[in-house]
Amino acid sequence: MKRMRDHLPSRRIIAVLAAALLATGTAACGNSDTGDGGGKDDGKITLGFSQVGAESGWRTANTTSIKESAAAAGVDLKFDDAQQKQENQIKAIRNFIQQKVDVIAFSPVVESGWDTVLKEAKDAKIPVILTDRSVDSADKSLYKTFLGSDFVKEGRLAGEWLVEQKKGATGPVNIVELQGTTGSAPANDRKKGFAEAIAANPNLKIIASQSGDFTRAGGKQVMEQFLKANPKIDVLFAHNDDMGLGALEAITAAGKVPGKDITIITVDAVKDGMQALADGRFNFIAECSPLLGPQLMDLAKKVHNGEEVPARIETQETTFTQEQAKAALPERKY
Ligand code: GZL
């Protein structure tokens, strides 16, 4: 049988070849979503972010920083709020893998239980960035970097201030502690740093310590229990402003004067906490900055491009007394 092409005029052959090339070209373009993430050909990177939740003023400020920075950096942000549940974060990360995002970032609600899903991201060749909170995975290859605070230092600064304030104490100084979310890096580390610092003065004793889950409601509820069970409370150390603000309601309802009858030390320095400090209802705050967005976007682009980044990037923070809060309040961004 004569082969077809022997009968086609040369113009036809060129048209057939052109159509074939075009089809191949289109197919190649359509398959560009080759698991190298995004599948976008507009040069924008796609970042999947799993947020802890919306439990505190700090978290709200952190979410705002991330969303505004993504928009400013031209990063296509896929944002998920896990409502403080680890299973929701794991689900979100799996969705990001399915969607073949370019980079995954998240703030792990608790330290443990991440190796399996982080291995899935690694197998999918999607780099992961930890922000704000860290994980206790032994395998450091499961993520590219950690961006956030030194929580042990925050706890230590809080404790050192108290040691200085109470160095003249002759009798026991009874401390109650409102811990953050059980199992979370900030709760574990702030507790550790504070306890190490107050060991310098044997009069300083933690007589009760319980989680208020970083929320105002939790802080109020647990402080009510502390007040019922302990007639003499001299100091409250709350792992964040929000639990301290909730505790204020319980302290006042118990007929005590916050900032005077009970010295109150917190962490974060969000606007409402700084206002309580300036008003004399709090006594000292160790700052924890939520403004991680700009650095996160820069890191996301770098890891997507395969650039080397430091294993750990710590935010610069300070502390505030009542006088310092009064001076700083007008400039506070969050
Ligand atoms: C700390 C952050 C903590 C804040 C809380 O980096 O993870 O979680 O201190 C927030 O206010 O809920």
| Amino acid 41: pLDDT | 60
Whether residue 194 is found in the same domain as residue 115: no
Whether residue 163 is found in the same domain as residue 94: no
Whether residue 162 is found in the same domain as residue 243: yes
Evaluate whether 185 touches 197 at the Cβ level (below 8 Å): no
Whole-number Å distance, alpha carbon 189 to ligand 1 midpoint, is 12
Q: How far apart are CA 124 and CA 291, in angstroms?
A: 29
CATH number at residue 57: 3.40.50.2300
Using the predicted structure, report yes or no on whether residue 310 has a pLDDT greater than 60. yes
Residue owning the nearest CA to atom 9 of ligand 1: 240
| Amino acid 22: pLDDT | 46
The domain of 204 spans 151-288
Assess if residue 219 is contained within a domain: yes
Pairing of the two strands 235-238 and 263-268: parallel
DSSP 216-254: HHHHHHHHHHHHHH-S---EEEESSHHHHHHHHHHHHHT
Which residues are CB-contacts of 17 (< 8 A; sequence separation ≥ 6)?
A: none
Using the predicted structure, report yes or no on whether residue 224 has a pLDDT greater than 90. yes
Q: What is the pLDDT of residues 115-159, one digit of tens each?
A: 999 999 999 999 999 999 999 999 999 999 999 999 999 999 999
Whether residue 301 is found in the same domain as residue 250: no
pTM: 0.88
Across the range 217-240, mean pLDDT stands at: 98
Across the range 259-263, mean pLDDT stands at: 98
| Amino acid 33: pLDDT | 36
* pLDDT mean across residues, the chain: 91
Q: Which of 83, 157, 188, 268 to mutate to test the pocket of ligand 1 (most atoms within 8 A of CB)?
A: 268
